[in-house]
Each structure stands twice: as structure tokens, then as C-alpha cells.
Structure 1
Amino acid sequence: MNQPATTSSALRLPKFVLPAGGCDTHCHILGPVDRFPYADSRAYTPEESDKTVLTALHDRLGVDRTVIVQATVYGTDNRIVLDAIADRPDVRRGVALIDTGISDAQLQTLHDGGIRAVRFGFIRHLWKSPDPAQFRRLMTRIAPLGWHVLLHVDAGTLDELQPMLDTLPVPFVIDHMGRIDTAHGMQQHGFARLIEWSKRDHCWIKVSAIDRLSSAGQPFNDVAPFIRVLLDSSPDRLLWGTDYPHPNPRHPVHDEADLIDVLPLCGDARALQKMLVDNPARLYGFTS
């Protein structure tokens, strides 16, 4: 079971001040379970960390915009994400989990509620990958909505997935930097492929869950050189997220301010402005 979410008031302010409009593009909300019960089919049972906790966290960190990703413990019941977006519709968007058989009317309801993407996994021990033909049809159906697809994949399997990725009718975002491991260095095959894919116009990379990518642990500075390379390669299609409240962490995150303070090591002010503000505003439809 995950550690309980730490109350924001007990923790520090980041040393690095996020630019105005800064966006956390990958975070989750959990509970209250009496209102939003977990799915019976869930693989784990996390502690509650509801929208009030997330709001307090982002207020402390200086995060102005949020993309809430549906937690897998809720399956395809996206009500908890829609509820949180409704509180702050100008500065919140969502990523849904859906079945390939969802109706057009249901897709429109999600869009009207602030959903701008769907998430699918292609990691065999974590996800049941969708049927390829059904997945392709679904991507064609979400394209007119202006959505994209968030892909939870290992960077080392991008070669295997290339035929599918090359023909996607929507942009795709590679989650958590393709789950690279900093212990394997910058020459590892997965990171080399990630750099190559980052140069393609329809591919975006999400810098998130750095506590999972780091081999050293706190303060996670060993991930910064990898992020810097990606920013140099594709500054216009990188996104950033905390992955709060860190389901199944590799290393404990004692304070999200530590994640913020890695950012100045990753790029200059112009590059960070793009990753934190301009890129998510363009992809998720935030306005000034």
C-alpha cells in the first residue's frame, strides 16, 4: 500500500519559482472512496489523496494549470476526473481511460467535461494492450475532437511499436520518458530511440515520474542530464509532470518541492518556459 499523502502545509516552498502558467501534466486524484469507490478489478489499493490535497499541493508549488490523469484503480469510470475539472475548468484538463467500444456520445461528454486525451498501456506485465484494429478505429474517432493518446510504454519497445505509431491519426505522448533507467546511461538503446522519436512532429515526450527513472534517489538530480538532452532535441514537444501522489514509487518522494528544484538543472529559462507553459498550453488548449 502506498504511503499516505503528506499534507502540503507541513512542507517547504520550492527554491525554483515556476513561470506563470506552469502546468503539471501528470497527476492523479484518489478518493474520497465513499464518493468515488475504487474498481473491484484494481491491481493495488492506494491511500486517498483527493482533489483538495492536489489543490493545496499545487498552490504551494506555484503550479497554475493541471492535467489530471485517470488513475488505473478507477478503471474506465472517469467521474472523479470530470468532477475535479469542473471546479476549475479554465485551468484543468484531463486524460481518460476508456474502452475501445465507447460511444461517440460518451466521447463528446468527456470532451465537454475537459478531457483532451486517452491513455493506453503497452507494457505486458502492467496493462492489457488493446486489440490493434479496435485501437486504430478509436484513434480515428478521437481525431476530430483534437485529442491525443498518452502511451505508457518502455522506450526499448518503440521499435516493435513503430508500425502502429507511424500510422496514428493523432499525436501521441510517451509517458514517463519511456521508463528509462538512469543507471544504464545515455547510451542505452531505449534512450537513443527516445531521442530519435522526439524529433518527429507527431511525438511528444512527458518528463514525469522521475522518482522511478532515478537510480540514485533523492534529490533525483541524476535524471536532469537526460531531460536536458531531450530539451535540446525537441524543446517544442516536451511536457512535465509530478506523477503525484506517486503510485508504486521506486524511491519515496518526501516533498514535491524537490521535483521542482531539479528543473533548473534541465535547461535554461527559455527551454523551461516551453516545457512548463507553452507546450502544454498548445497541446491541452489552455489560454492566457
Structure 2
Amino acid sequence: MNRRQFQAAMASTLLPPLQTGCASTAQRDESLHLAAVDTHAHVFRRGLTLARERRYAPDYDALLADYLGMLDTNGIARGVLVQPSFLGTDNSFLLAALAQQPARLRGIAVVAPATPMAELRRMDGLGVVGIRLNLVGGAALPDFADGAWRGLLRRVADLGWQVEVHREAADLPRILPPLLQAGVNVVVDHFGRPAPAQGVRDPGFQFLLDAGASRRVWVKLSGAYRNGGNEAGQQIALAATPLLRNAFGLDHLVWGSDWPHTQFESKVDYAHARQALDASLPDPGARHAVLVDTPATLFRFT
């Protein structure tokens, strides 16, 4: 038994059984099966150059072939690859993956503020549709008033790209306003990362709800397990989803698997990540909007 098989076996013992098979659910809706989008996943392999400052480095491979197999098994047509934080601004592995599946994949890169437009345009041609600010875990917030950041955000806006934000909810009031003022669209990861002890009462999460009125912020219904252990994260997701739906509308919500669930590999698998959306959005029409309609436009699959 290899590492991945062991992790899958562990996940099946740690999580409750599925009520219905996720792949069979998708297959019952052929239009969803042909068009659904997973908006948050990572690919990498051992031996790649790692960022000097990192919180974590995996000791296994998460290859494109593995990810595409997960999509096929779970009835998901297309995916968005997000540059993992531990690879820093070296997006070469991500870009190589996009080049292999240009119709099926899009990408979110991590770049330095001084990255020139020519390089951004090259990435755009390969399927990159935005940049990520992975600021979780106490990382210093960017000084968006700095000239280099202003220039980067102007270039991102000119390309029509998004800025994806991963940060605890408490700091969203300091992050979202300058990004919106810079004219970029913003996608907030993992339900906005409310504090586990506060859940939807977190003032930062409440600020995020207010940001829905801007119509330039989207939220990923993804990685619920990152918002609290022992099922607390999923309970927060169940409470947060109707609030987010009311504040943003289904046209500003998307779903992501967060595959391969870094640091949570033994506690969750792809099928359960997919089923979590069914639990929080039981209405098939709502799921179709979140899985198909909204991400197709936001990530330029149409």
C-alpha cells in the first residue's frame, strides 16, 4: 500500500459514510457532469524548488494525472489549479500543467509585485486568470499603497484578472477595501476563514458579508475543514452558506475541492469534499449555479 492509498483508507475510517456516491449524483445530471468546475486544487511533485519562507512542504507527489483522475471519478469536467504557497513565485510546474490541458484547466499564479506585463500576458496565454495572495498564518499584509503593488494591481485589472485572497477573516477589513479601490475583482478562499471559536459571528466574516454589495467579490465554498477540527469546520460551512448566498447571490459563489487537501490528507478525500457542497446546498439548481454557471464565467471557460 503506497502513501496515497493509505491516506484514502484512513479517510474512509475518519469520516462518516457518504449518503450517496458523488460520482453517481453527478451522472444523474448530465449537463452538470459535462460542465462542472472545481475552482481550487494544487499540483506539485517532490524535488521542486521550495520557497525560502514556507509553512509546510509535502513529502508526496500530487500530479496532474492524479488530479484529472479525481475529476473524472467525481463527475467534474474542469479545474482551476492554484499555485501552492510552498512553491512561491516559481509557477513553472503550474504553467506546464495548464499547457497540457488548455481547454480543461485554468490557473491562479503567485507573482512578485514587480512582475512585468509581458510575463503576465505570457501566463494569460497559458490559461492563468488571476493571482493569489496567500497570507494565512500570520504573514505580513502587503502594503497596497506601495508603488510596486499599485502597479501590479493596475496590470491585473487591465488583464481582467482576479485577485484570490487567503487570509483569516479578522484581516479582511484591511485587505478587501484597497483591492477593490484598485479596480480588481476579488475571490476569497475557504468561506473567508472565520475564526473557529466565533464561526459566522466573526466580525471579519460579517464584514465579508457586507462586501457582497460591491458585486466585485466572490467566495469559494471550499476547505471547510480548515476552519475548525472535529466537524466544527463543516458546521461553520453549513451556517455560513445561506448567509453567503443571501449576501452574494449564487452568481458570486463557487466550489473548490482543495485537492490534495494539504495537511489534511488523512482526514478528508475528494468525494467527501464534493459531498460537503451537497450538504450545504441541497437544491440541485443552486448547486448547478455554483458548480457550472458562475465558475464558467469567473474563470473564463466560456
**TM range, smaller chain:** 0.7 to 0.9
Equivalent position of 2:205 in the other structure: 191
Matched, 1:14 2:22: yes
- Is the 1:16–1:260 contact (alpha carbons within 8 Å) kept by the matching residues of 2? no
**Pair 1:102–1:260, CA change in 2 (3 A):** same
Residues of 1 paired with 2:121 and 2:6: CA distance? 36
* Counterpart secondary structure, 2:111: coil
- Is the 2:8–2:269 contact (alpha carbons within 8 Å) kept by the matching residues of 1? no
Equivalent position of 1:65 in the other structure: 78
Residues of 2 paired with 1:181 and 1:5: CA distance? 30
- Is the 1:147–1:170 contact (alpha carbons within 8 Å) kept by the matching residues of 2? yes
- Is the 2:38–2:78 contact (alpha carbons within 8 Å) kept by the matching residues of 1? yes
Matched, 1:248 2:248: no
Equivalent position of 1:93 in the other structure: 106
**Pair 1:269–1:123, CA change in 2 (3 A):** same
Equivalent position of 2:15 in the other structure: none
Deviates more, 1:109-118 or 1:150-159: 150-159
TM-score (norm 1): 0.87
Equivalent position of 1:143 in the other structure: 157
Residues of 2 paired with 1:93 and 1:217: CA distance? 31
Residues of 1 paired with 2:209 and 2:23: CA distance? 29
1:44 partner amino acid: Y
**Pair 1:86–1:8, CA change in 2 (3 A):** farther
Residues of 2 paired with 1:218 and 1:5: CA distance? 25
* Counterpart secondary structure, 1:30: coil
Any stretches of 5+ residues in structure 2 without a counterpart?
13-17, 27-31
**Pair 1:271–1:82, CA change in 2 (3 A):** same
Equivalent position of 1:117 in the other structure: 130
**Pair 1:95–1:276, CA change in 2 (3 A):** same
Residues of 2 paired with 1:244 and 1:237: CA distance? 21
Matched, 1:157 2:171: yes
TM-score (norm 2): 0.83
2:171 partner amino acid: T
Residues of 2 paired with 1:263 and 1:125: CA distance? 29
* Counterpart secondary structure, 1:132: coil
**Pair 1:165–1:31, CA change in 2 (3 A):** same
Matched, 1:206 2:214: no
Equivalent position of 2:50 in the other structure: 38
**Pair 1:254–1:152, CA change in 2 (3 A):** closer
* Counterpart secondary structure, 1:242: coil
**1:129 deviation in Å?**
2.9
Equivalent position of 2:189 in the other structure: 175
Q: Percent identity?
A: 28
Equivalent position of 2:243 in the other structure: 229
Residues of 1 paired with 2:79 and 2:268: CA distance? 21
Any stretches of 5+ residues in structure 1 without a counterpart?
none
